[in-house]
Amino acid sequence: MLPDSIIELIVKTGFEKGVKSFKNKIKIKKASENYAKKYRSRYGSLKVLGMSKGLRLESVYTPLHFKKDVNIGEFGTVTLLEDRYRDSQELGLSMNNCRSENGMTIANDNQYLMVLGTPGSGKSTFLRRIGLEAFKGEQGELSHNCIPVLLEFKQINTENIDLIEAIAEEFTHFGFPSSKEFATKLLEQGKLLILLDGLDEVRKCFTNAVMNEIDDLVTLYEQNRFIVSCRIAEYRSNFKHDFQVIELADFDDKQIEQFIKNWFISEPKTAEKCWETLNQDNNKAAKELAQTPLLLTFLCLVYSRNLNFPIKRSRLYNKALDILLEEWAAEKRVLQEDIYKGLHTDLEKAMLAEIAYEGFNKDELFFQRQHLVERIQDFLADTVDNPQFIDGKKILKAIAAQQGILVKRAENIYSFSHLTLQEYLTAQYISQKDSRIQELVTNQLTEERWREVFFLVAGIKDNASEMLNLMENKTQQYINTHQLEDLLIWVEKVTDTTPGDFKPVSKRAIAIANAIAIAITITIDINDVPVLVEAIANAEAYALAFAFIKALAKANQDSDAIVRALALAKILTYYEITDDERLKGLEEAYRFLYVDKEDKDIVKAPTNDIAEVKDIGVRALENIINYIEWSEKMTIYQNVDYTHLKIRLEEVKKQIPDDRDNQEVKKFYEDLVGKIVPIWLEFFEIDQKKIDITESELKALENYLYANLLMVECKEAAVRVSKETWKDIEARMLLPVK
C-alpha cells in the first residue's frame, strides 16, 4: 500500500476532479492498495536464467554502489590502463578511481538520475528496488514521498510515444479514476517518481523520438523525480536537462558475500560454505565473474544444485559466456537489430576467441578501438559471403551494448568484461589445433599467467592425454645438470620400495622437500639464525617446504624460492596427506603467498630477548623430533636409523646451557643449525656436495616442481585422461630421466 501521505494526495486530487463521495474515496484507497500489490507482483521478484521459481527481490537484493564522478569520455592510453590494472592486483579489469556511493543515497540526493551499467550489472533491479522503497514511505530508505511509476522501454516499438499516456495506462490498470487527467494532475503536483528502464532497449530508429519525449516530460513537469537506466555503450549525453550520470560499480567482496547470504537466507551454513568455496584458490577466476550480479546469480544457482562449483571449470565459463551471448538478451526479450545475418553465435565465439588469444599472447588486456574494428573486419572478410556489407564499428558497438563481453574502459579503449572470459576464449582458440597446444606447452609451461589457460584447455579437450604427455616431456628438460639428476637419484634411492600407504610419488615429493630444506640452509646466508632454526624445524613434510618460505621471506632472500616451496607443498595435497595439522599449515602458506604479502606479523620479528631465543630453539628441536617420528611412522624413507637419530638430537638438546649465562644461551642457539645439519646429512645419507646447487639450478628446480604441479592440476581439470597414460606419467613423476 502507498504511504498515507500519498493516499491523501490521491484522494485530494480525486476531489478536485469532481470525485466527492465517500464511496469514491474508498475506491481510491482500494486502488492504491491494488497498485502497490500489482507493482510488487510484477516487479518485486527475481526470476532469471531458467529459475523454476522466483525469489523475492527484497530478500536477495544487495545494496548497489555507483561511481558518481564518472567521465564517460575519459581519455587514457592502453599502457596506462595496463599499468593501473597490474598495480592494482584486482581480479577485474574495470578500474576506476571514482569514489563509489550507495545507490539509495544518490537517489535521495539527485532529482534527475541517469543510471549506466553493462548488461547484467543490476540497472533494472535497482530501479525496481527504488520503486519498492517508495511504497514504504517514512519506513523506507527514500526520503521523498512519491508515487513510483515504472515504464520499460523494451515494450516500445513506435516513435509516436506519449509518456503521459503510458503513465496514465499504468494507473488505469489499477482502477484509478479518469486516468490521463488523473496522471496529469499528479505530475503537476510533482509527486511522481518516474522510473524509465532500458533506454538502450528502444529500437535505434525510435531512439531520438523517445529521448525528445523524455526531455519534453521533464521540461513540463520538472518538479517530479526521474531515474533513467541505459547500457553504457548506448548512452548519448545529449539530454537538455542536467541528469546526474552514475555508473554501477562492480561488486566488491563485501557485496558478494552479502548477496550469497541473502540468496541462501534460509540456509546460513550453505551460504557460509558457498562463500568459503568461492574464495578458494582454485575458484579465483569464478570469483571474478561474481563481481557482476547476473553472473553471481548464475554461480549461486550452480552452487545450490551441487553444493560446490564444478571441478571442470571450462564448462562453468562456457555457460557464463553463453549467458552473455544469448540467454540474457532472450530472457529480457530485447529486439536486437541484425548486425550481420551470418554472424551466428558459434562464429562470434570463434571471432572473440581469436581476438582474445592474440591479446593474451602479447600480454595485452586492453585494446584500441580501431584495432578491434580491423580484427573484426579481417576475421569476417575471411569467413562470410558478402564482406562488403560488414561494418566493424557497428559490430563492436553491438557486442559492447547487447552482450557486454567487450566493454569500453576509456575513450576508444576496450577490454573483455572479465579476464576470466579472455582466458577461457584464449583456451578455446588454442584447443582447436594440436599445433597450438604444442606451442603452448613449449613456450608457456612455467609462466604463471598462463596457468588458468592450461586448466581450461585440459577441460575443453575431449581427451587431455596427449597434452599431458607433451607437458611431461617438456618438464623433464628442466633437470638439465648432473647436480639435479643426482638429487632425483637420491630421492629415488631413499624412498624406493618403502612400505606404507603413501604413493611412491608422494614419498618422493616429501624427500625433495627434505633435500631443498637442507640445500637452502647450506647455500643461503640468513642472519636471523633463530628464525631460520624454527623454520627448518617445522614439523612434518609440508613444513620443511613452508619453513623456508618463512625463513627466506624473513631474510628478504630469493622470493622465487617461496613459489618453489609452495608448489612442492601443493603437490603433497594431491597425494593423500590429509592430517588436519599439516593441512592447517598448508593453508597458512597459501594465505602468506596469496593474501598476506604485506602482513609483517606472519613472520616473527628478530629478537634479542634471551628467553624468546631459547623458546624458539626449544620449539625448533621439538619440531624436528616430531618430524622424525612422523616420517618413521609413515615409512617415508628406507635405511634411516630413526632410533639413533633421535638419540643424537636428544644429545643436542642436553647441551642447552644454563639460563644464567645469557651469552652462552644465545651462542648455542645461533650455532644450532651447524649442530643439526651434519646429523641430518648423515642419517638421511645426503652428500652435501650433491645438494650444493647454484641459483640457476634452484630456478630450474622451481620450474620442474611447478610443471609437475601443473600436470597434476590439469589432470584434475580434464574431462578425460586415459588411465594408462596417467598411471605411466605418475610412475615417472619426480624420478631421474632414464
% of the chain exceeding 70 in pLDDT: 75
pLDDT of residue 582: 45
Does the pTM surpass 0.75? The reply is yes
Q: Which residues, in sequence order, are bridge partners of residue 226?
A: 112, 194
Return the number of other C-beta atoms located less than 10 Å from residue 535's C-beta: 29
What CA–CA distance (Å, rounded) separates 332 from 344? 19
Query: What amino acid is encoded at 27 in this protein?
Result: K
Using the predicted structure, report yes or no on whether residue 147 has a pLDDT greater than 80.
Answer: yes
Q: Is the dihedral of CA 554, 558, 563, 567 positive or negative?
A: negative
- Express each pLDDT in 375-426 by its tens digit: 999 998 888 776 666 788 888 988 888 888 998 888 888 999 999 999 999 9
Q: Are strands 244-248 and 65-67 parallel, antiparallel or unpaired?
A: antiparallel
- Express each pLDDT in 625-676 by its tens digit: 777 887 888 788 888 999 999 999 888 888 877 766 677 776 776 677 678 7
Rg of the chain in Å (alpha carbons): 33
- Express each pLDDT in 576-627 by its tens digit: 444 454 445 444 444 443 333 344 333 343 445 566 656 656 766 776 777 7
Contacts of 337 (CB under 8 A, 6+ apart): 203, 204, 398
- The number of helix segments (H) and strand segments (E) in the chain equals 34, 12
pLDDT of residue 590: 42
What CA–CA distance (Å, rounded) separates 133 from 136? 5
Kindly indicate the confidence band of residue 76, based on its pLDDT and cuts at 50, 70 and 90.
Answer: low
Helix (H, G, I), strand (E, B) or coil at 409: strand
b/e burial code for range 74-103 (CB count within 10 A of at least 16 → b): eeeebeebbebbeeeebbbbbebeeebbeb
What CA–CA distance (Å, rounded) separates 445 from 234? 41
Average pLDDT value for the chain? 79
pLDDT of residue 484: 92
Written as one string, the DSSP assignment of 416-447 is ES-HHHHHHHHHHHHHT-HHHHHHHHHHHTT-
What CA–CA distance (Å, rounded) separates 257 from 247? 21
Are 609 and 596 within 8 A, CB to CB? no
pLDDT of residue 455: 94
Q: Where in the chain is the domain with CATH 3.40.50.300?
A: 4-43+63-248
Written as one string, the DSSP assignment of 169-209 is HHHHTTT-SSHHHHHHHHHHHT-EEEEEE-GGGS-GGGHHH
What CA–CA distance (Å, rounded) separates 488 from 496? 12
Written as one string, the DSSP assignment of 716-734 is HH-S---HHHHHHHHHHTT
- Express each pLDDT in 346-388 by its tens digit: 889 999 999 999 999 999 999 999 999 999 999 988 887 766 6
- Express each pLDDT in 696-720 by its tens digit: 887 888 788 888 888 988 998 899 9
Are 708 and 473 within 8 A, CB to CB? no
- Express each pLDDT in 297-316 by its tens digit: 999 999 998 898 887 889 89
What CA–CA distance (Å, rounded) separates 123 from 229? 6
pLDDT of residue 720: 93
Q: Is the dihedral of CA 274, 280, 285, 290 positive or negative?
A: positive
Fold of 4-43+63-248: Rossmann fold (3.40.50)
pLDDT of residue 49: 80
| Least trusted range by pLDDT, from 219-233, 281-295, 607-621 | 607-621
What CA–CA distance (Å, rounded) separates 334 from 198? 10
Written as one string, the DSSP assignment of 207-242 is HHHHHHHHHHHHHHTTTSEEEEEEEGGG-----SS-
Using the predicted structure, report yes or no on whether residue 193 has a pLDDT greater than 90.
Answer: yes
- Express each pLDDT in 258-283 by its tens digit: 999 999 999 999 999 999 999 987 78
